[in-house]
Amino acid sequence: MRYYLIAGERSGDLHASNLVRAIRRHDDRADIRAWGGEMTQQAGATLVKHYRDLAFMGFLEVIQNLPTILGLLRFCKQDVLDYQPDVVILVDYAGFNMRVAKFAKANGLKVFYYISPKVWAWNQSRAYRIKALVDRMFVIFPFEKEFFARYGYAVDYVGNPLLDAIADYQPNPDFRVAHQLSDQPLVALLPGSRQQEVTRMLPRMRSVVAHFPDHQFVIGGVTNLPRHLYEAAPGEATLPVVFDAAYDLLANARAALVTSGTATLETALFGVPQVVCYQTSGLTYAVIKRLIRVDYVSLVNLIAGKEVVKELIQGKFTTENLVAELTPLATDTPQCHQQIAEYGRIKGLLGERGASERAGKQMVAYLRLQVTG
């Protein structure tokens, strides 16, 4: 069968690659065309567009790049029509992918969605739109199944794919030596995987370094962004950067400052105490604040249903607050132990590993049932 898959960001590339492998295991004739990255391509898909071309987020940023986004959307629609897949599989990245879902549905194509848009966070009535446009939804958080049921939409809960990614990770025993790091306790700085995130978040994260002279601070970088983004500006601390090695960094970290996103849950699953940070443009924040329907922004707190990690958002994202929140986590304290204990409970809520395998197997089964039925 023919599959057209769209993942629009770095974390989506990871999950899409595992999904591609699962589909190919259950459909040995699978022909997969994809938007994603190197991992999706290496898994066996024909890469159409790289996710770096889609890395826009925030209302102001999207408006500023609207001509580019619309051009990509036009290209995608024509490419889908030319390919005529048996199914369009969308991976997260709601702003772009929901427009593709509408187009695909209007043209009589089957639509599957893996990793739901976060409709439970804001404008929850969008669940009705998803129900109308998406034939099968495969969700990765346990609370999402109950959420969609309130809208009369039965979805498949397959578990969380991060459990697979972390279980498959093989630690590098020479990590510190290879990157010439000291034996001091290590604090990871994870400023995000998009250019505008790194530009906005990293300078403030660097500003705490002088307050922790007994710790080694290391930046987790990604090679799909320009390297100069990680260089210190005048007056900033010069710090080592490790590229595409976030799991090695977390495996060696004593604590972390993490930009809100998938990395917050990864950090929790590695058992690393963290402070969650986020700051965006004033316009984007003003719009989001009016629409948001949940009490937290980090996946860790959302899954736990309470504050497990401190969230320093927008105006609270200051050097003073970062230092105050990081201090008890960077040493052996009750606050540190409490956060790690809560991580264990969160991992239990996520269930068993095998999410991508279950999702791929079910997708192939649904398609075959359609063909034979």
- Which residue would you say has higher pLDDT here, 65 or 153? 153
Q: What is the pLDDT of residue 119?
A: 85
- Which residue would you say has higher pLDDT here, 249 or 262? 249
- Which residues pair with residue 33 across a beta bridge? 4, 46
Q: Distance between CA 356 and CA 161 in Å, rounded? A: 6
Q: What is the pLDDT of residue 53?
A: 77
Sheet containing 110-114: give its strands across: 46-50, 31-36, 2-7, 87-91, 110-114, 136-139, 156-157
Q: What is the pLDDT of residue 287?
A: 62
- Which residue would you say has higher pLDDT here, 348 or 224? 348
Q: Which of 69, 64, 7 is nearest to 41 (CA)?
A: 7
Q: What is the pLDDT of residue 236?
A: 82
Q: Distance between CA 141 and CA 151 in Å, rounded? A: 17
Check for a shared fold between 2-159+354-372 and 175-350. yes
Q: How confident is the model at residue 9 (pLDDT cuts 50, 70, 90)?
A: confident
Q: What is the pLDDT of residue 372?
A: 54
Domain boundary assignment for the chain: 2-159+354-372, 175-350
Q: How confident is the model at residue 234 (pLDDT cuts 50, 70, 90)?
A: confident
Which whole number is the average pLDDT over 111-121? 91
Q: How confident is the model at residue 52 (pLDDT cuts 50, 70, 90)?
A: confident
Q: Distance between CA 69 and CA 41 in Å, rounded? A: 22
Judge if pTM exceeds 0.85. no
Average pLDDT, the chain: 91
- Report the relative pairing of strands 241-243 and 46-50 from DSSP bridges: unpaired
Q: Distance between CA 323 and CA 328 in Å, rounded? A: 9
Lowest pLDDT segment from 63-72, 87-96, 249-258, 329-338: 63-72
Q: Distance between CA 316 and CA 297 in Å, rounded? A: 14
Q: What is the pLDDT of residue 152?
A: 95
Classified by CATH at the fold level, domain 2-159+354-372 comes out as Rossmann fold (3.40.50)
Residues 319-344 have pLDDT tens digits of 999 999 999 999 999 999 999 999 99
Which whole number is the average pLDDT over 67-83? 91
Residues 118-176 have pLDDT tens digits of 888 777 888 999 999 999 999 999 889 999 999 999 999 999 999 988 998 999 999 99
Lowest pLDDT segment from 63-67, 87-91, 185-189, 298-302: 63-67
Q: Which superfamily, per CATH, for 175-350?
A: Glycogen Phosphorylase B; (3.40.50.2000)
Q: Are 216 and 241 in contact (CB under 8 A)?
A: no
Which whole number is the average pLDDT over 308-317? 95
